[in-house]
A and B are shown apart, each in its own frame.
Chain A
């Protein structure tokens, strides 16, 4: 599904290399977790994959089902099936959550040559999915993320994911700022979306989220590269001993 090979990325405005030869492959249906200390380049990876401005790819490739991601505009990547759940979802006053979501769903369908959803079909789908995530009708009516609590914003991200039905979901520290109950809701939402043809890349600092979303593979990232890959037990090791031992081991 997602293949990243020897990816080198620097900031566009300054001579600072952030990703230094990162390689990673997420097969269809799997959940991979990326853990790593602050500043290791985890968020940069998620931004570069989804097409944010401000980064230069100096070397390497990234593809989704064989399609070169790096050549596409952000909206094209989304239509191709990539989704990024933001660490800090953006507030957009004056734009209703429903309008935003329906525009996004239909823009993607249009880009893929599918029929757009009618207002009725969309409403039915969004209500059902919102109910699963305990998102009430009032939240759907409000402007995008405006006045939402941290937990509501993250649940709104998962609602978008559920509505857009991406094949490759990247979650950038979705657990940050969530209490235990909210984390469970978010995890349940993600687990409900797991399927043989959908993959996840879950970026997190803590093992806790991975108790709820069981990963198939755990990668440890440091200084712009994947330095160690293993099973779920690797996350437990990080939780117990911190990154220090692991990093000194690979250096």
Chain B
């Protein structure tokens, strides 16, 4: 009798606890193995306090109205079989790069190159953490914290708390080869969490490539500090399995006369969200963030969310947001892009364009452009369009003998061209274009 009563009470308590958001967070955290941290310990502890304060997002959060946070809130990811689905070689695999392979978010030394690159110091978060003093100490969690205002980003804080590995790159020169981070999957239950820190010293330049997917669910953060006159080219290609759930954040701080050029190619995945949070803090700096997305709902749901926040806090700076999504078979695309011009950020030149090409009537694009401007001498504009294939152009191509499906591929590539144009290197741009073409050809008629 007594035993039963106790059991009943426990069950009741569990049920009522589960309804409380704080315990959803506890369950989320309990499912993770939290590193102790060395030089990151304080940042991790701080992130835990911040996350506890802000809690996990709900559908009522302004920035989660169009994307259901449920798959990211769940304590465990839905297991996803690791198949040989992606048979093609990773993008950029034939380029001369420094290859760093991460399997489900954890560095795989055997599959990677040596961590030596002239003009850069490269270390692993997991290995460097034991030290108490490290150049990355000032950055790990710092840009993430700064990027939490005014919009909270709980999963970035969660990442700072729980990231097991990542790469720490300090650029001191102009490395002759790009650094190429390659993600792979191994475990069908993996909840992959990684956190990279990139610091470019004044006047340096780095091309950072990141390709592949990891985990049944993934959460990646990059914090990048780009000092005066330095240039970071970040090019990511994420071709997920159809059921994958993933999110990523890039937090960048751009100093005087520095440049950030970011381009992300995304294909497939069931729920994907990429956030870009860029603070321009030095005069005459440039920040461009662009993405090309291909979404096809024919196998399972496709929902892709790009959420961008660019803050201008200095004079004569230029920012560009160029987002292009091609959607079909009920695919959904979301774009939430903001330009904030702080008081005194005169002569700001900010531009934002988000466009969707809907290949059928079932697909949907939701765009929320925002401008918030507190300086009076600026040029800021935004545009958003949703359209179908241009019939005139389609007829033109077909009248030259190009078959219908092939003509559609040309027009899709044509639509994405403005986003690809944000990749400075012609060689990389051509490789991306060729790969896109191959993917599109592969999908024709399927």
Contacts and interface: CB of A to CB of B under 8 A. Distances in A.
B399 A103 contact: no
Given A78-B400, A103-B402, 12 more contacts: A51-B399, A78-B398, A79-B401, A83-B399, A92-B393, A92-B411, A100-B400, A100-B410, A103-B410, A104-B401, A107-B402, A164-B400
A74 B395 contact: yes
Contact of B413 (A53, A74, A95): A95
Contacts of A53: 391, 395
Interface in A79-107: 79, 83-84, 86, 89-90, 92-95, 100, 103-105, 107
A107 B406 contact: yes
A74 B414 contact: no
B186 interface: no
A73 interface: yes
Nearest to B403: A75
A108 B410 CA distance: 16
Interface residues of A, number: 29
B435 to A, nearest CB: 15
A86 B401 contact: no
A94 to B, nearest CB: 2
A107 B401 contact: yes
A57 B182 CA distance: 56
B404 A73 contact: yes
B401 A94 contact: no
A127 interface: no
Contacts of B135: none
A207 interface: no
B415 interface: yes
A160 B415 CA distance: 23
B420 interface: yes
A53 B54 CA distance: 56
Contacts of A73: 398, 404
A160 B396 CA distance: 12
A83 B391 CA distance: 18
Contact of B414 (A86, A89, A93, A107): A93
Interface string B409-424: 0110111111010000
A52 interface: yes
A53 B395 CA distance: 8
B404 to A, nearest CB: 7
B396 A90 contact: yes
Of B402, B411, B415, chain A has the most CB atoms within 10 Å of the CB of B402
A95 to B, nearest CB: 5
Contacts of B414: 92-95, 143
Interface string A138-158: 000001000000000000000
A75 B410 contact: no
A104 B400 contact: yes
A92 B397 contact: yes
A111 interface: yes
Contacts of A160: 400
Nearest to B412: A94
B398 A111 contact: no
B402 A95 contact: no
B392 interface: yes
Contacts of A93: 414, 417-418
Contacts of B390: 90
26 contacts: A51-B399, A53-B391, A73-B398, A73-B404, A75-B403, A78-B398, A78-B400, A78-B401, A86-B396, A89-B396, A92-B393, A92-B397, A92-B414, A93-B414, A93-B418, A94-B413, A94-B414, A95-B414, A100-B397, A100-B402, A100-B410, A103-B402, A107-B406, A108-B401, A111-B401, A143-B414
A50 interface: yes
Contacts of A164: 400-401
B407 to A, nearest CB: 8
Contacts of A52: 395, 399
Nearest to B407: A75
B39 to A, nearest CB: 46
Nearest to B410: A95
A212 to B, nearest CB: 24
B78 to A, nearest CB: 37
B393 A90 contact: yes
B395 A103 contact: no
Contact of A74 (B393, B399, B406): B399
Nearest to B411: A92
Given A53-B391, A95-B414, A75 B420 contact: no
B250 to A, nearest CB: 25
The 6 closest A-B pairs by CB, nearest first: A94-B417, A78-B401, A108-B401, A104-B400, A74-B398, A94-B414
A114 to B, nearest CB: 12
Nearest to B395: A52
